[in-house]
Chain A
Amino acid sequence: MDRDLIGRAKRGDRDAFTALVLQHGDRLYSVGYRILRDASRAEDAVQQTFLTAWRELHRLRDDDRLEAWLYRLLVNACYAEARHTRRWQPGLRLITDTDVGPTTDDSHLTVELRDQLERAFRRLTAEQRAVLVMHHYVGLSGAEIADALGVSPGTVRSRLHYARQEMRAALDADARLVAEGGLA
């Protein structure tokens, strides 16, 4: 199915490309949101991903690798978005409550714990967040992430190791606060 759509899209068929957007959009948006933790920026990143994909579709040599290629474009778009937010700067905006999207049942995670995780996650670099999300949310292996992102497996391992350490430290901090009666 994808191959037919990709073939038509490569020949300039916008309807075929729109069908690909509908097929892959939810997945990309979910991943983008989780890397950026900001609905508006995730939208920007996804839009940029698809526009780049449309413009550069001729570069996709192996049609079976569309999803991996889209992930790479998305992650690059997320890096660019993250750079925008890191400084003012011309585009800075504050994180507001509206950035938190609709939620599923999360009653087993306390508000404080979610807050700890959120803050710890935001302290990570965009590169570390990306591998964390690709591994723990998308479910890719280290080798698959390396392949999708175009980095070495060692780099993925290193980023993953550091990022997981940071997240665990956040959990430990939360546990200490609970034990000390500070927040819970």
Chain B
Amino acid sequence: MNPQTRADQVFESWLVDGPTRMPEHLVDSIVTQLEQTHQRKHVWLPGREQTNRMMIAVGGVAAVALLAVVGLYFVGRGGGIGVQPTPTATPVPTLSPRATPVPTSSPTALVGGTVATGRHFIDVQGYRYTFDVGGNDWQASIGSPDILVTKGAIKGSSFAAMWLWGQSDPSQVVWTQACQWSGTGVTPGPAVSDLATAISGLQGFETTQPTNVTVSGYTGEEVQLTVPTGLSFAAGSAQGCPQGQYRSWDGRYYQAAGQKDDVRIIDLGGVRTLIITSQFPGTDAQTLTEQSQMFDSLEIAPGPASPSPTP
């Protein structure tokens, strides 16, 4: 027998092995979710597109007006035929607001892997995020979440992270029960406050009520989640939970008792964006200081080819 054929046969035998039926609780969960999920219909002009069209229209009018002014200026200089135009006040150019002075050391582009100390920037979905990294051993990954910077090991006691979810926001399903989460998912409404309220109501966490927050000029709400200290997470698995997972929303699992998330939810040009800092209770003071410095130094600004800012 051809070795590849034999290999395929063995592989297929292995592949057949495994579950073939969807668990009952999954069906229940999907049905529950369907009740809370609206179908999308064909809509040609969603809000942002309308805004864009309006901006294009306004831009077009402005361009025509500018051309007219320039044209009149040259006609006036050239002594055009006909009535001499009435002198008009020379338009005074409006000074655009000056950018904040660039720090002495220019930020460097953030890439995945070990992050050097210093100021870094990264462009995500039309916005530029710039922040300081004030210590060694921070690691970055980019993509999903949009930005993730961590220090420490999740199997250890000292661990801190800051990350950002924007367009790929996974919090569209929030599990109302952290331990027995399956079947308890709800879909919060689209507003910042909808998600903040949903998170603050999670069972199985110590949560705070949503408070107003401003991150780099963008307003939103903040909620703090803490995993109860009485829980056990041997080898990263939540003991006593049916699936070993302790969840807040889709894709978010917790790995330590006392783990704390500060969740800031801001509206960034119509995109609900989550900026989260998380830490284990045993995180050393130096790491916590660096984490605070990173968040406090965070600047968000419209980046190259960005939508208009709506802070």
Which of A's residues lie within 8 Å of B, judged by CB?
12, 14, 17-18, 21-22, 25-26, 28-30, 33-34, 39-40, 43-44, 46-48, 50-51, 54-58, 80, 83-84, 87-94, 96, 98, 100-104, 106, 108-109, 113-114, 117, 132-133, 136-137, 164, 167-168, 171
Contacts and interface: CB of A to CB of B under 8 A. Distances in A.
A29 B19 CA distance: 8
A26 B163 contact: no
B3 A34 contact: no
B30 A21 contact: yes
Given A22-B27, A46-B26, A89-B141, A137 B16 contact: yes
B158 interface: no
B253 A91 contact: yes
Given A26-B21, A51-B30, A90 B7 contact: no
A64 B30 CA distance: 23
A94 B254 CA distance: 11
Given A25-B22, A29-B19, A98-B243, A51 B35 contact: no
B182 interface: yes
28 contacts: A21-B27, A22-B27, A29-B26, A30-B18, A30-B19, A46-B22, A46-B26, A47-B29, A50-B34, A55-B37, A84-B251, A88-B150, A89-B141, A89-B148, A90-B163, A93-B255, A98-B243, A101-B19, A104-B16, A104-B17, A109-B13, A114-B17, A133-B15, A136-B11, A136-B15, A164-B7, A167-B7, A168-B3
B137 interface: no
B20 A26 contact: yes
B7 A168 contact: yes
Contacts of A25: 22, 26-27, 30
A124 B8 CA distance: 16
A43 B26 contact: yes
A37 B15 CA distance: 10
Contact of A87 (B10, B38, B141, B237): B141
Of all A-B residue pairs in the complex, the 3 with the closest CB atoms, nearest first, are: A101-B19, A29-B22, A25-B22
Interface in B219-257: 235-237, 243-245, 250-253, 255
A96 B237 contact: yes
A137 B16 CA distance: 7
Contacts, number: 170
A84 B141 CA distance: 12
A90 B278 contact: yes
Nearest to A18: B31
B101 interface: no
Contact of B8 (A17, A80, A164): A164
Contacts of B27: 21-22, 25
Interface stretch (B39-47, B48-56, B294-302): B39-47
Contacts of A137: 12, 15-16
Nearest to B32: A47
B74 interface: no
B215 interface: no
A26 B276 CA distance: 36
Given A47-B173, A90-B278, A102-B19, 17 more contacts: A17-B34, A30-B19, A44-B250, A55-B38, A57-B39, A58-B41, A90-B252, A93-B244, A93-B245, A94-B237, A100-B18, A104-B16, A106-B14, A113-B14, A164-B7, A164-B8, A167-B7
A106 B251 CA distance: 32
B85 interface: no
Contacts of A50: 30, 33-34
A96 B245 CA distance: 11
B4 interface: yes
A93 B247 CA distance: 11
A169 B21 CA distance: 31
B33 A103 contact: no
B252 A91 contact: yes
A129 B275 CA distance: 32
A174 B42 CA distance: 54
B10 A109 contact: yes
